[in-house]
Structure 1
């Protein structure tokens, strides 16, 4: 059974508890991905503050050992998250890890992020594992727009591109959100704000995911890289406008920024990933994950 939402909002550092200096650990157990976003650039590295980056990939059976160690450095650790470096549902490792975490640390909040391609297929398993907060990245609900953001998907042994791929992805995201939200799990949606592509589409996304059952919405500014390296990053004003537009339909989460798949510590205060994972240099600041 999932932890109640009141507890999540009080104890999860990425849902308002950051002011109480609550901490979290990200477990980088999910190496593979099943979609190819044009803005994504996953890497193994030691210090880049970019989603999808990690200093190493660990195995599910190693995860509880890292949590025990993290508790020595972060006594107010309340949350265990898995956000990559690939997609959490593309391989079995994330859900296997959460089963082990639930058994040894039942009081820690279990938080997972996914692109949602397999969420409709695996919603029952996500619910059964007891995920407390689920974040789904939905960048568009119009297939024509999504097709500009996502180059291809890999689904049930086949590769799809263009509008066909977008239609499959959007359908699975929304149906998966409906199933998981109906179980009582807190669902947050992330949208990467890509100027000139989906910046005039935010209201539609916010309204659609709220109807599907999401209760929090987070707009992440694009990092110009990979296929979108020549796109401009959103301006602060552009981000504020998008947040205001979305806020008409859904509660907007505003204190989040880009975060690594192996972050450990209190968001915005300190990060001890170097001590926990041993081979990453210390960074001065980290932020809560999307």
Structure 2
């Protein structure tokens, strides 16, 4: 297929364009494109049983960063990253807390839209406030959204999401799980209607949601989600006693999901301050002065 044909396909199919530019929305390691995660969101409005947000330079997993940036600092880091790695096509915000629990992510995207309109602005969220803030995201230039949906049955999710805070009230158990699921599904539907590409992340937790993946895939597909990314649990925090899913369990989950939705299979489980080409070139160590940081300064879960 020649370049002109590719260009025509991208023009007629926005998903094709995104998959050719976004390393986490399509061709994975076959795509020589980069991304940067800008850690501007410190707090979260839910508590997942596997989540331990922290500051250090050793761990390679979501929820970990070397430092928290202000929106202005984030744009300065982005400029430096583009100098070091011109292949970066995506400016993402993936924590370490939830990106919609504060205003910092949207403020950062507005600055990036003005300074680097050529980049794909990408946001990851738990979805609790996605419906409420969907228009703001589109206005700020966000083109791709990842929503973490670990279950669509409250009886399953109550074992993964320990509590949520909405409108200043804390909800736990089935009640909290039901509120979160309803918010996520409404949010996915709305952001899709507004024109964003949507990927759903699901953390595969053995013995909890491994038999529920097909139902998640079916549900989010019906709402218009474009991709699903099934992420093997990293046993930590309240789920430290579980085993990480093996290759067979992961394969079976992906096979079931693929009956309903495209499945992204190349996730690197990146840190909240990752930068570079996933699996090939990482430049985060060149962007931050790691020596000045406390290696284990844990965030508040407020």
TM over 0.5: yes
- Distance in 2, matches of 1:218 and 1:280, equals 34
Q: Per the alignment, in what secondary structure is the counterpart of residue 24 of structure 2?
A: helix
Answer yes or no: is 1:262 the counterpart of 2:262: no
Contact 2:29 2:266 in 1 (8 A): no
Provide the residue aligned with 1:177 in structure 2: 188
- Distance in 2, matches of 1:250 and 1:5, equals 13
**Partner residue of 1:117 out of 128, 133, 136:** 128
Q: Per the alignment, in what secondary structure is the counterpart of residue 167 of structure 1?
A: helix
Unaligned runs of 5+ in 2: 1-12, 293-302
Q: Which moved more, 1:5-14 or 1:204-213?
A: 5-14
**Partner residue of 2:260 out of 241, 249, 268:** 249
- Distance in 2, matches of 1:262 and 1:278, equals 12
Contact 1:220 1:257 in 2 (8 A): no
Answer yes or no: is 1:8 the counterpart of 2:21: no
- Distance in 2, matches of 1:179 and 1:256, equals 25
- Distance in 2, matches of 1:127 and 1:99, equals 10
Backbone CA RMSD of aligned residues: 1.4
**Partner residue of 2:142 out of 131, 137, 162:** 131
Question: What is the TM-score normalised by the length of structure 1?
Answer: 0.93
Answer yes or no: is 1:148 the counterpart of 2:159: yes
Provide the residue aligned with 1:285 in structure 2: none
What is the CA-CA distance between 1:137 and the residue it aligns to? 0.1
1:1-290 to structure 2, matched below 5 A, reads 4-15=14-25, 16=27, 18-279=29-290
Contact 2:62 2:271 in 1 (8 A): yes
**CA separation of 1:17 and 1:40: change in aligned 2, threshold 3 A:** closer
- Distance in 2, matches of 1:92 and 1:73, equals 28
- Distance in 2, matches of 1:62 and 1:243, equals 38
Q: Per the alignment, in what secondary structure is the counterpart of residue 75 of structure 1?
A: coil
Q: Per the alignment, in what secondary structure is the counterpart of residue 57 of structure 1?
A: coil
Instruction: Write the deviation string for residues 141-183 of structure 1: whole angstroms up to 9, x where unpaired.
Output: 0011011111100111000001110111000000000000112
Q: Per the alignment, in what secondary structure is the counterpart of residue 239 of structure 1?
A: helix
Q: Could you list the runs of 4 or more consecutive aligned residues of structure 1 that deviate by over 4 angstroms after TM superposition?
A: none
Q: Per the alignment, in what secondary structure is the counterpart of residue 178 of structure 1?
A: helix
What is the CA-CA distance between 1:17 and the residue it aligns to? 5.8
What is the CA-CA distance between 1:184 and the residue it aligns to? 1.6
